[in-house]
Chains A and B, each alone.
Chain A
């Protein structure tokens, strides 16, 4: 088991683990609505499968947020 930090909270994970798998493990409902940083570096979504998480890493999920209002069709 390895200890990592997701949005500041400690998590125990089993390595190897890539960013895509971490997103799945964290039950992110809409991965297309999240942006990811690993150790404060932006992680391009095209690379999520290739970026390996390491012991002690800090991962941030940044969620897309609009204005709570969505364009509504009449």
Chain B
């Protein structure tokens, strides 16, 4: 276990004051290794809050560079970062917030060739990606490697998230397989209110901290959805599906799959 310095006791005093966390919980947070896949709309708030909380080691996976259109919601990136790899931009902010945090960067796409190798280095994985092929990949890799993870999805004014622990319902229990590539939201139906990414990402960060401190009840076997237009939050109970192709009684998926991603031509809209 880590011996907290006086500065750390001050930095984390609002955690330590929480009876459910205390010094012991803070030490668990500081020993934790978390992988954040996607340093975008969800990955930004997740990384900022996990850095501030003092997570010991944060891995960031993202192959993209910061684009001007990202800044509307990806609050870890600043105007001056346009053109910089997202993992580098995010690492700089994390270390500026909290030099205690060790940051590993993976400036690459997560795919079937590297997913297990990267994931196995971490205790908890946060899905902050924007597309279904990678969401299924993260789900499958985490289930295969026995790793807990937080799923997150946002669209327009809506968000959804659940937490998976080994043995609880996985993404495939709920969604079976990615939607057909051609069906993925058309341009006119896509888009997202920037603050929705913050709402959902901070829920994912809270779940991560709950996981390490053992506080409360995680979002396992339920899908939390919200509609920011009405601010209605809804918990949908889900269960591990006995017919699940990945974690059911007779699994048929025994390797990682790279699904195809549909692309949207913005110029035609």
Contacts and interface: CB of A to CB of B under 8 A. Distances in A.
B161 to A, nearest CB: 9
Given A65-B154, A66-B130, A71-B262, A42 B241 contact: yes
A69 B70 CA distance: 9
A68 B179 CA distance: 15
Q: At the interface, is chain B mostly helix, strand, loop or mixed? A: mixed
Interface residues of A, number: 25
B41 A44 contact: no
Contacts of B135: 66
Contacts of A37: 236, 238
Contacts of B243: 42, 44
A44 B174 CA distance: 10
Q: How large is the interface on B (under 10, 10 to 19, 20 to 34, 35 or more residues)?
A: 35 or more
Contact of B180 (A32, A40, A68): A32
A67 B175 contact: no
Contact of A70 (B40, B190, B197): B190
A7 interface: yes
Nearest to B70: A69
A68 B156 contact: yes
B234 A63 contact: no
Nearest to A7: B234
A65 to B, nearest CB: 3
B263 A73 contact: yes
A63 B132 CA distance: 12
Given A63-B158, A63-B160, A69 B41 contact: yes
Contacts of B40: 67, 69
A45 B175 CA distance: 10
B158 A73 contact: no
A3 B77 CA distance: 49
Given A42-B241, A68-B155, A73-B265, A60 B236 contact: yes
Interface of B: 38, 40-42, 73, 128-132, 135, 152-156, 158-160, 173-176, 179-180, 183-185, 187, 189-192, 196-197, 223, 225, 234, 236-239, 241, 243, 261-267
